[in-house]
Amino acid sequence: MKGSNYLLIRNFLFVHRRLGVRPHVTEEKVPEQAASQLRADQTRVTIVGAGISGLTTAYYLQRRLGDEVQITVVEGAERLGGKISTRTVAGHPLDTGPDALMVRAPVAAALIEDLGLAGRVVAPNGGGARIWSRGRLRSLPEGTMFGVPGGLLPLVRSRLLSPLGLARAAFDLVLPRSRNRAVSGQADPSIGELVRRRMGAQVFNRLVEPLLGGFHAGRADLLSAQSTAPDIATLARTHRSLYLGMRRRPKRAAGVATPSGPMLVTLNSGLGGLVDALEAHLTDATVRRGSSVTAITPAVTPAVTRAAGVRSHGYRVDLDDGSVIGADVVVLATPAFASATIVAAAAPQLGALLGGIEYANVATVVLAYPRSAFPSDLVGTGFLVPPEEGRLIVGCTWSSLKWPHLADDNVVLVRCMVGRHGDNRWLTMKDPTLVRRVRDEVHDAMGLVGKPLEQFVQRWAHGMPQYLVGHEARLDELTEALTELPGLFLTGSAYRGVGLASCIADAERTADAIVAARSTASAPECAGGLAVGRNLRVPAHREE
The DSSP-derived string for 219-235 is: -TTTBBHHHH-HHHHHH
**pLDDT score recorded for residue 9:** 30
Residue 422, helix vs strand vs coil: coil
Architecture of the 142-247 domain: Orthogonal Bundle (1.10)
Report CA 177 to chain centroid distance, whole Å: 34
**pLDDT score recorded for residue 11:** 35
* CA angle, 536 then 227 then 177, to 5°: 105
**pLDDT score recorded for residue 542:** 35
**pLDDT score recorded for residue 258:** 44
Strands 454-465 and 121-122: unpaired
* CA angle, 173 then 176 then 178, to 5°: 135
* CA angle, 540 then 514 then 541, to 5°: 5
Of 378, 387, 505, 399, the closest CA to residue 445 belongs to 378
- Cite the beta strand spans of 356-497 per DSSP E: 359-370, 382-384, 393-398, 411-418, 454-465, 488-490
Q: What are phi and psi of 124, to 5 degrees?
A: -75, 160
Local confidence pLDDT in tens for the 544 residues of the chain: 343 333 333 332 322 332 233 333 333 333 333 333 545 568 999 999 999 999 999 999 999 999 999 999 999 999 999 999 999 999 999 999 999 999 988 999 999 999 999 999 999 998 889 999 999 999 999 889 889 998 899 999 999 999 999 999 999 998 886 555 555 556 789 999 999 999 999 999 999 999 998 899 999 999 999 999 999 999 888 888 998 888 877 654 444 434 457 889 999 999 999 999 999 999 999 999 999 999 999 986 433 433 444 444 589 999 999 999 999 999 999 999 999 999 999 999 999 999 999 999 999 999 999 999 988 878 889 999 999 999 999 999 999 999 999 999 999 999 999 999 999 999 999 999 999 999 999 999 998 888 999 999 999 999 999 999 999 999 999 999 998 898 999 999 999 999 999 999 999 999 999 998 887 633 223 344 565 433 223 233 334 4
Q: Which DSSP letter does residue 363 get?
A: E
- From first CA to last CA, the distance across the chain in angstroms is 35
**pLDDT score recorded for residue 524:** 28
Kindly give the residue spans of alpha helices, DSSP state H, lying in 356-462. 399-402, 431-446
C-alpha–C-alpha distance, residues 49 and 292, integer Å: 9
Q: Which DSSP letter does residue 183 get?
A: H
| Ramachandran category for residue 132: left, alpha or beta (phi over 0 → left; psi -120 to 50 → alpha) | beta
> How many CA atoms lie less than 13 Å away from 431 in the CB half-sphere?
9
| Bridge partner list, 43 | 69
C-alpha–C-alpha distance, residues 333 and 53, integer Å: 6
C-alpha–C-alpha distance, residues 355 and 482, integer Å: 15
Domain ranges of the chain: 9-81+271-357+468-536, 142-247, 359-465
**pLDDT score recorded for residue 236:** 87
**pLDDT score recorded for residue 250:** 60
Kindly give the residue spans of alpha helices, DSSP state H, lying in 344-470. 348-355, 399-402, 431-446
| Bridge partner list, 405 | none
Highest CATH level, class, for 9-81+271-357+468-536: alpha beta
For the domain 359-465, what is the CATH superfamily, name and number? Answer: Protoporphyrinogen oxidase, mitochondrial; domain 2 (3.90.660.20)
Topology match between the domains 9-81+271-357+468-536 and 359-465: no
